[in-house]
Each structure stands twice: as C-alpha cells, then as structure tokens.
Amino acid sequence: MQLPALSLAAVPGRRARTLELAKEIEDRGYAGIYCPSFGDGLGLCNALAHHTETIPFGTSIVNIYARNVIDYAATAAFIHEMSEGRFRFGVGVSHAPSNDRLGVNPGKPLGDMRDFVAELRSQQYIGDLPPLVLAAMRDKMLALSGELGEGAVFANAARSAMPAQLERMPTPAAGDDFFIGCMIPTCISDDREAAAAVNRKTLRGYVALPNYRNYWKAEGYREEMEAIEAALDAGDRDAVPGLMTDEWLSDVTLYGSQDEVLAGLQEWWDAGLTPILVPSSASGGQMKAFEEMFAMFDAA
C-alpha cells in the first residue's frame, strides 16, 4: 500500500505532542507532512526541520497577505536550509473572510501571486529558497503554478475532475520535479453516516465561499451549489449540510470503512497526484483521528 501524505496542525495546548506525532508519521513512512495555516503552519514547519530527519514537509498553505514578503522569504530560506531541502513553501491568496480579518484589500489573485513570487525571489543575502508550491483551484492559477513554481496544491477538489484538469495544464517549467497534491478531508468509521456527517461539518465553511461554489459548479455540481446558495441567502445555515449530496461528498472527501477509504484513496493516486489526507474522527479529536489512520494502514 502506497502511503499518502498527511495534514498536521499545531493545535494550541498540544504542540509538543504534535511534534511527537510528526516523528511517528515519519517513522511509519508516510509520503509527507503538510501544515495548514491554523495554529501557525509555518511555525510548525520550522519545528519539523529540527524534529524530523527524512520526511518531506511543507505549508499548505500560508496566506501571501498575512506577512511581509521579505519576512516570508527569510523564514522560508531558514527552514529550507535547516531541513536540508525537505521543505516545500506552499502559498496562496486565501479567501475573502480571512483577508477581511487581516484588514487587507487584495487585488487580482493572479497578478498578486505573480508580484509576490517576484518579490520573494528578489531578496538577497538570505540563502537559497525552498521549492514554491502555489494553491490552485481553477485552470489559470494551476497554469501559473507550473510557470512560476515547483508545485501546486489543491484543497477539497473534485476527484472526478482532476485527470481532465491536469491534462489541460501546460507542461510545468520544473518538469518531472513538479509536485501536485490535494488536501482531502478524511474520516474513517464503520458508521458511514457518522463519518459523512463529520466531513459535511468540515466543509460547511468552504461551501459558504463563492469561489469554491463556483469551482464545484463548473465541475458538475451546479444543482447542489445553487441550493446551498439559496439556503445561505435565506439565512438558513442549518439546512446546508442536508444539501451536500452523497455524490458530491464522495467526490471531494474520503469517508466510511477502512476498505471504502482505501479504495477511494487509490482513485486519488490514479488521478495523478499525491493525496494529503486531513484526518478527522467520528468518535474523538485529532489524536483519535490519527490513531484510526495508522490502524487502517497497519491493517492494509
């Protein structure tokens, strides 16, 4: 069984345990560790450079508007050097609610990303920069990642759409070294409905974002997304989970028994990218979710 990468967040109050968990992930031979912005993913990557030895790791992602690009460049170069080249710097333009909280007024995503990368790479006296991975969703940002970066990372993408989208992508400048990953909410439980409910809860915030809904509409889920839009416009947020169909949920997440999750995981590998599983549990918190993940692959 080919092991995927795993998503790991530095949950407040459990940060030391998180580093112990990272070492266990490494020792078990997983394909990588990728850290979301929650809990300071870049800070966690800094710690991973010192607490792990062989496993690739990276951010997935940091918001390009959250810090000064000069500061990002210095930190990324430091982690790159201390990890001896195991770090991938994942960056993205995030979403309107996050940027509103930061008090920033972004421009056009493609132009802002192009400017960010140019300024990042213009910094001097910081050492070498790590491979750059751009958060992608639609074709234009995916093409930009191939032009400017060494990788692309999706989140909550529709698996059924991935082969065609990757086929449309121009050949990346980085060639065969180009990394493509996708963050996939994952819940393992013999109680399939309970696992589905967990993933629906995970995705409630994402279906509230217009850019995600527009993406899913384009990939064949227009009816679901328009129904969700109507519920949100009516202020009926409680109706939203019931409008997330099983077909859609099974296309963008993994859930159910060990056998079901493993079968779906293989389909993600077959789609041509590295799955980055985001573990949740129907019967506990983050640590329980990782116990269930390890148990599944131990039994495979």
The residue extents of the domains of the chain are: 5-199+251-299
268/3 Cα distance (integer angstroms): 12
Evaluate if residue 38 carries a pLDDT over 90. no
Per-residue confidence (pLDDT) for residue 32, from 0 to 100: 98
Strands (E), the chain: 5-7, 33-35, 57-59, 62-63, 87-92, 132-135, 151-155, 179-188, 254-256, 274-280
Report the amino acid identity of residue 250.
S
pLDDT in tens, 17-28: 999 999 999 999
Per-residue confidence (pLDDT) for residue 148, from 0 to 100: 97
Evaluate if residue 95 carries a pLDDT over 90. no
pLDDT band at 193 (very low <50, low <70, confident <90, very high): very high
> What's the burial of 51, exposed, middle or buried (CB within 10 Å: 0-12/13-18/19+)?
middle
Evaluate if residue 243 carries a pLDDT over 90. yes
Instruction: Give me the CATH topology for the region 5-199+251-299.
Output: TIM Barrel (3.20.20)
Q: Cβ distance 5 to 276 under 8 Å?
A: yes
Q: Within its chain, how far is the Cα of 182 from the centroid? A: 6
Higher pLDDT, 212 or 96: 212
